[in-house]
Amino acid sequence: MDFKKVFHIQEFLDSYPSIISNQRKTKIKRYFLDLVQELKKSDLIESDYKIISDGSFISVDELTISNTSQGFVIYEKLSL
């Protein structure tokens, strides 16, 4: 059993439009992706990822700064 976690990156960053430069936005996205990698290394999430593109979820093999511009989905592993 797993639970879906949706991260709306663009929506989050758009809430601070005049404060965050494009360079800092890229750095923030990198932090999100680094945290996803740490969760994967700790075996807390599944390795199947989805990106958000025009409101649709699309399966991808890996998350990158360019393919997560709108957002992404990860699936939490649960141990019963």
As a 3-state breakdown, the chain gives helix, strand, coil percent values, each rounded to 5, of: 30, 30, 40
Identity of the residue numbered 21: S
Mean pLDDT of the chain: 91
Q: What percent of the chain has pLDDT over 70?
A: 95
Q: What is the pLDDT of residue 18?
A: 81
As a whole number of angstroms, the distance between CA 2 and CA 29 comes to 24
Identity of the residue numbered 45: I
Q: What is the pLDDT of residue 1?
A: 44
Give pLDDT tens digits for 2-37. 589 999 999 999 998 788 888 999 999 999 999 999
Sign of CA dihedral 60, 52, 35, 48: negative
- Direct distance between the N- and C-terminal alpha carbons of the chain, in angstroms, rounded to an integer: 9
Q: Which residue has the higher pLDDT, 60 or 22?
A: 60
Residues 40, 47: contact at Cβ < 8 Å?
yes
Instruction: Tell me, yes or no, if the pTM score tops 0.75.
Output: yes
